[in-house]
Structure 1
């Protein structure tokens, strides 16, 4: 006969309860342990990041700016006279010589004034010839009269001498001698006056001819001016170089002083760079620079810094020291690097994507073996175009990732594969 055990069901319930409690405790402990574990380091393709090694050596601080080559001097050709543009004889970019005609202007009134000035000169020269003939005739008449008086005076003097001799011999009376003497003296005085008139005539002739010569010179100057103005209707380059621009069109009326064209010397160029205003504060006149024309590099020196800021940049002129490479021409786009200072024996790396001078950033430093990298804080210092100074956080020989790692900003460690 089977005996029913009353405690069997109760014991089985206790075992199941104990197993459930143990299982719950184990699961809780496991969950707690898992929560305390660090997340697995993500894997990053080694080929997708740029790795650089910390080195020690000289660091050249530089700033870079884009710009273009421009002529050191551009000659502005203005209109000297008023006129209407008849023809454009050259196009921008054309090599020109000093006597190359760029434009033809027309001004009928000016051309008529030149003809009038030529006629005025011929009239003045004709008047000079007529006046000279008249004055010479008057001078000769006066000289003839003076010669006639001189002849009469000589005759009177001879008569007086003869009468005095006769008086000494008692042949004539003293009254006759006195009359002869008075006549001789009067003619002598008259001869002096006539000679003075001849001298005055000569001086007057010179003065009147000089006045007429002044009128001729004035007329000649006016003619030269008018002719010069007419020649200015042919607008010439004036220098050897390249025509930069023509600022007028055919048929356009221009006034004196109006800009007609611009000519530059392509052999004398300078670089005009645009440097970010935040970096331009360290640029000084006299600093060395290198200008890359894509076809060669030219050494230069900073010659001018624009005091004004335009579009967050500052214009910096660089005077070129070497020979221009082939293809260098005005308006050619160039890339310039200006040397600010040279730091010797400086710990440095290539510039990270987010690396700014005098800043604190974090970089992934490769661990020995190069399979993993950990995030470390790095304090940066002075920077050049490609490299930057390391002040704290890294040592010589360390290898770091310089690429943009913002996608892994939540991780302190990564794996490289």
Structure 2
């Protein structure tokens, strides 16, 4: 029992004694034989012992709402004590930096998209082998290989015949040109033609002679076979063609690789734009929780980094009372005990909770050690808020027992009590039997503020004397008594 309860019980006893003394003095005479007494009928009843304390209502869980992006705070739209709902905008951050970043990101995206489009227009094949430059280079390689083969094989009979025919044709042409030149010279000396006509005939003769010599030389070359120089030239042309194929394939591969890289950069640029757009939406800071704002942690003008707490929200669907319990009472408190709670904010209302936690270390109020006991409310009334005062009664014991009023139990020595051990103080209760007060020794158990538990000595239905206090102090075993049937039960 707490000190406050003990003081209250003592005060009640003193008042009862005082009333009895006053009544006795006013009557000016002793209690008459067969005095009327107050009685009660003993019965099984709910017996409870409580521990009291007081404390404050708190949210069982407070959560911080954090900014997802950094920026300067333009507005804070809520105040402490306000209720917020999921998705509600609680603060607004400056958007200008992110808007500038978005503009730059979109320009970069457009540039990379143009690069991808250009590469895709240049790559009109499914594989490198199908690339037009590679096809052309391979065609030239085939031609160079054929030329080398021709040089190495020498002239064919058909080529020799063609060369011989060319010599014959060139010889005939030369003879005709020579005869024509002789004719023109005679005519010129006869002044039958102009000098220009003579010069034309000389030029035709020179060309015919050159063609004849070339045809003769080509025939001799074909007959003698390829020279080292011809083979070297053909081989060099073949090597150049091979290098051209390699270069074309590498160029095609580079374009394909460039397209892959450009597409990866394009994806990154698209993701960057999407990220900045999402961050822009997050400059409107919203709460993912519902409850009451218990703390406002930022103010306009402050620059936040991503992850900075903006407000703290208490979940009002689950509240606790953190009550301070005296060290002499806390030993009887255990987790799971039922608690009755009242608050000055809800006069006349009672609500209930359960002990959830007992602090391992005390808090000192002066020299008195007290322990914080956390009580979770089961049915908090609407409007109950963190910070409100609350009084608690922790039910540390509750069971069905025989109980009697505290003042009905008298303490006597062994000389008056039957049976009892010599020299020991015993507790007894007067039971009304056949119109007499019979003093019955009892064994008591726990004591509450007003009643005491009787473990042995009484039975349900026994009528016991409960007062007055003055009468109980003078009553003897076997004294005749009168009682009223209108008196209630043992509590």
Of 92, 95, 98 in structure 1, the residue corresponding to residue 86 of structure 2 is 98
Asked if 1:313 is matched to 2:370, the reply is yes
Q: Structure 2 CA distance, aligned partners of 1:90 and 1:52?
A: 61
SS at match of 2:372: strand
1:74 equivalenced with 2:62 (yes/no): yes
2:23 alignment partner in structure 1: 43
Give TM-score scaled by structure 2 length.
0.52
Aligned partner of 1:247 among 293, 296, 301: 296
In structure 2, the residue corresponding to 1:117 is in which secondary structure? helix
Are 2:95 and 1:114 aligned? no
Which residue of the partner structure matches residue 262 of structure 1?
Answer: 312
Do the aligned partners of residues 152 and 121 (structure 1) sit closer, same or farther apart at CA in structure 2, a change above 3 Å counting? Answer: same
Instruction: Give matches, 1:295-310, under 5 Å.
Output: 295=349, 297-298=351-352, 300-310=353-363
Q: Which runs of 5+ in 1 are unaligned?
A: 1-39, 353-360
Alignment of structure 1 residues 102-181 onto 2, 5 Å = 102-106=90-94, 111-129=95-113, 131-132=115-116, 145-159=133-147, 164=153, 167=156, 171=160, 175-176=225-226
Alignment of 1:374-413 (within 5 A): 381-384=445-448, 387-390=451-454, 397-400=463-466, 412-413=473-474
TM-score by length of 1: 0.59
Q: CA deviation at 1:76?
A: 1.7
Q: Counterparts of 2:350 and 2:93 in 1: how far apart (Å)?
A: 43
Contact 1:274 1:315 in 2 (8 A): yes
Q: Computing the radius of gyration over CA atoms, which structure comes out larger, 1 or 2?
A: 2
Unaligned runs of 5+ in 2: 1-19, 27-37, 161-221, 408-424, 476-482, 484-491
Aligned 8 A contact 1:364 1:401 in 2: no
Cα distance in 2 between the residues matched to 1:307 and 1:161 = 102
Partner Cα distance (2:157, 2:52) in 1: 124
The Cα RMSD (Å) is 5.5
Aligned length: 355
